[in-house]
Amino acid sequence: MVNSFSNQDRNGIWDRRTRFNEILDERNEAVSDVLFKKIGSPHGHHFLDVGCGGGGTTVRMANSVSSNAHVTGIDISESIVSLAQENMKSIKNVDFILADAETYQFGTIKFDGVISRFGVMFFSDPIRAFTNIHGAMREHAFLTFICWPPRQENAYFYTMTEAVLKHTGKEYRDTGTEPGPLAFSDNAYVESILNSSGFSNVSIETVKTQLSAKMTPEFDAGMHMEYGPSSLLIKDAQPDEITKKKIYEELLFVCTSHQKGEYVSHDALISVVSAIS
């Protein structure tokens, strides 16, 4: 089976993500809280946000460091980098690079810290990517990123994917370490990747959080048809229109059951990975 993720965004996944950037940023704010609590207020002059998306975390990083420090966001999606550049153009100490973090030549500046919120699980060759990132860091600089733990431990992933499988009649295919949202769900694998890329002092903790945003269950169900764990299974199964409608109704049922007033709020588990260069 061909993997949906590629360093060229062949399948338009990241371009589709751009359409939902604002709501996803809101939904992932509690995830950012965990990330930024972990790194505190780091000292240094140059920081990097890998797979930065629309730049929400890049700007939050800029606000967490001294005002004369600079934060660079790097992302492979042209549409998301354009959006980040447009939205953040009045902010002086951030910039955005449209490039593949796996191969980009970062130049002579050495980063004092590197962060990522869900932006590092899609490399075609993770050791090459992290070795490249490691080469752009000062000695003893920090790397802290968020990724997803296994599907069956994560209520959000499990519920959303089961809602689809119920109607496609397919078995869940474990994607193992293939590039994708769950590629780093095995802690031993993550640790070995980082050690092989030159990092040390790897630590991984699992944290409970909530993915919460002000939206209707209808909007959330519609978004899950197009982006996120359920959408990947829909794409793989290629259901007919009647089945698609049933999947939407199922997702709507799930999202409605997670409605809290004007918000939809999913329980989720995230992994916080830290290492030193």
Ligand X SMILES: C[S@@+](CC[C@H](N)C(=O)[O-])C[C@H]1O[C@@H](n2cnc3c(N)ncnc32)[C@H](O)[C@@H]1O
Instruction: Point out which residues bind ligand X (CB under 6 A).
Output: 7, 14, 17, 24-25, 28, 51-53, 56-57, 74-77, 80, 100-102, 117-119, 122-123
Nearest distance, CB of residue 102 and ligand X, angstroms: 5
Nearer to ligand X, 101 or 254 (CB): 101
The backbone region for 67, taken as left when phi is positive above 0, alpha when psi lies in -120 to 50, beta otherwise, is alpha
Tell me the CA distances in angstroms from 190 to 9, 53, 76, 145, 201, one per residue in order.
23, 22, 22, 11, 12
Nearest distance, CB of residue 147 and ligand X, angstroms: 10
Nearer to ligand X, 30 or 276 (CB): 30
HEC secondary structure over 28-40: CHHHHHHHHHHHC
Nearer to ligand X, 7 or 259 (CB): 7
Pair of tokens at residue 235: 């794409």
Nearer to ligand X, 189 or 246 (CB): 189
Nearest distance, CB of residue 214 and ligand X, angstroms: 17
Query: What secondary structure letter does DSSP report for 199?
Result: -
Q: What is the CB neighbour count within 10 angstroms for residue 254?
A: 20
Nearest distance, CB of residue 117 and ligand X, angstroms: 4
